[in-house]
Amino acid sequence: MDKFEKLVLDIMKDAEEDGEPMTREEAEEVAKMEMKAKGMMREQAEEKKERKAKERKIDEDKKFLLINLGTLVEGMQLNEGEPRGVAIKTETELSFSFRGNDYTLKLTKHRPPKK
């Protein structure tokens, strides 16, 4: 039994279970439509678009602020007699230790409100 014949019989069986019996001709039409739809879906899946790698824009203002905040934190660490250690993740986060605890400062630039 081929796929089409099996699909027709399944459609007729499902329709009968739902209490709406279907003729063989109607079931064949529905089966044809389902097979076309499945074929179209397969064709769409095969067409993959190539994604272009977006170049990340560096926010110079945030970078400037974090570098200066890092310098401030290093000065505070030196005043406390702790080893200096400040890590900057891109221009968004500043991680450091102070008095035995680990901290992370995350800098968020807010967009101006829409008018």
CA dihedral 60→63→68→69, nearest 10 degrees, is 140
Q: Which of 46, 11, 15 is nearest to 32 (CA)?
A: 11
Q: Is residue 38 part of a domain?
A: yes
- 4-51 confidence digits (pLDDT tens): 788 888 888 888 888 888 888 888 888 888 877 776 555 555 666 788
Give the pLDDT score at 40: 55
Q: Is residue 114 part of a domain?
A: no
Range(s) of the domain holding residue 42: 3-46
Name the residue type at position 80: E
Q: Is residue 91 part of a domain?
A: yes
**What φ, ψ does residue 33 adopt, rounded to 5°?**
-65, -40
Indicate if 39 and 73 belong to the same structural domain.
Answer: no
Q: Is residue 55 part of a domain?
A: no
Q: Is residue 54 part of a domain?
A: no
Indicate if 42 and 17 belong to the same structural domain.
Answer: yes
Q: Is residue 10 part of a domain?
A: yes
Q: What is the total count of domains within the chain?
A: 2
Indicate if 74 and 96 belong to the same structural domain.
Answer: yes
- 64-85 confidence digits (pLDDT tens): 999 999 999 999 888 888 888 8
pTM: 0.50
- 47-65 confidence digits (pLDDT tens): 667 888 888 888 889 889 9
Classified as helix, coil or strand, 83 is: coil
